[in-house]
Each structure stands twice: as C-alpha cells, then as structure tokens.
Amino acid sequence: MEEAPDAWTLAAFWFAAAGAALAAVGSAARAWFALAEYRDLLDRAKLPDAVRQLFVSLRPALGLGRSFQWAVAAIHAVRTLREIEQAGGEDARRLTELMNQVISWGLVLWGALFAFVAALIRLISSHTSG
C-alpha cells in the first residue's frame, strides 16, 4: 500500500497546478489581446483588395480553439510574408505580426493547459492514494 504524500509534496502539487493555471490564463489573455488588435486593424486598414482578402480569409482560423488551422495559417503567412509586406505596407506587416503572436501565444496556452491538467491529475492521485 502506498504511503500518503507529506505536506511539502502536496504543497508542491498545489503550486504546480496554480502555476500552470496562471500560465494558461496569462497566455490566453495575450492571445486574445493580439486577436482583438488584429481584428481592429483589419477593419480599419487601407489595404489592396488582394491583401485584404488574404487576411480576411485567415481571420476565422485565428479563433482560440482552432490549433490546426493556426498552424496552416502560420505556414501560409510565413511563406508569403514578403509579398504581403510589399503589397500591403505597414498595416499588412503589423497584421502578419499580430497573426504570428496569436498563433504563438495559442501554442503556449495549449502547453500550459496540458501542464495544468497533468498537475491536477497528480494532485488528485496523491489525495486518493493515501
């Protein structure tokens, strides 16, 4: 029969769960702010039609729950970054930067959520094993 974890071990599990939760909330907030700025700039930017269509077509893929579409959007944007900047100027450059931020922070968010779930599983299993 397993021995119940000591107080220090339980405290460590709680800190791990709390830290992962804070990392998830922080990265979700940062991704959300970048997405909001992306949408705002896209609505008011003066872009050539072809460039605007590209960014409008990418907008649905930047929702916080669409990781696979994020990856596809990132690959597409990186491959066409120079063309976008040449055709759309500073607004297009900033939109591309914001899109990359949403993607990057979204990936950090997923990592933090996985760490949070792992910490909770370990915490729960430590309470039920004793």
Name the CA radius of gyration of the chain, rounded. Answer: 20
Cα 7 versus chain centre, distance: 34
Band of residue 81 on the pLDDT scale cut at 50, 70, 90: low
For residue 25, what pLDDT is reported? 92
The amino acid occupying position 1 is M
The per-residue DSSP string of 3-46 comes to PPP-HHHHHHHHHHHHHHHHHHHHHHHHHHHHHHHHHHHHHH--
Band of residue 26 on the pLDDT scale cut at 50, 70, 90: very high
Q: How far apart are CA 71 and CA 54, in angstroms?
A: 16
Residue that wins the pLDDT comparison between 96 and 78: 96
Q: Dihedrals φ, ψ of 6, to 5°?
A: -75, 175
Q: Which helix (H) or strand (E) holds 65?
A: none
pLDDT at 79 over 70: no
Return left, alpha or beta for 89; rule: phi > 0 is left, psi -120 to 50 is alpha, else beta. left
Q: Any idea how long the chain is?
A: 130
> What are 99-123's pLDDT values in tens digits?
778 878 888 888 899 999 998 888 8
Q: Any idea where the domains of the chain sit in the sequence?
A: 18-128
For residue 96, what pLDDT is reported? 78
pLDDT at 22 over 90: yes
Question: In CATH terms, is domain 18-128 a member of 1.20.1440?
Answer: yes
For residue 74, what pLDDT is reported? 63
Q: What is the mean pLDDT of residues 76-97?
A: 70
For residue 71, what pLDDT is reported? 63
User: What pTM does this model have?
Assistant: 0.66
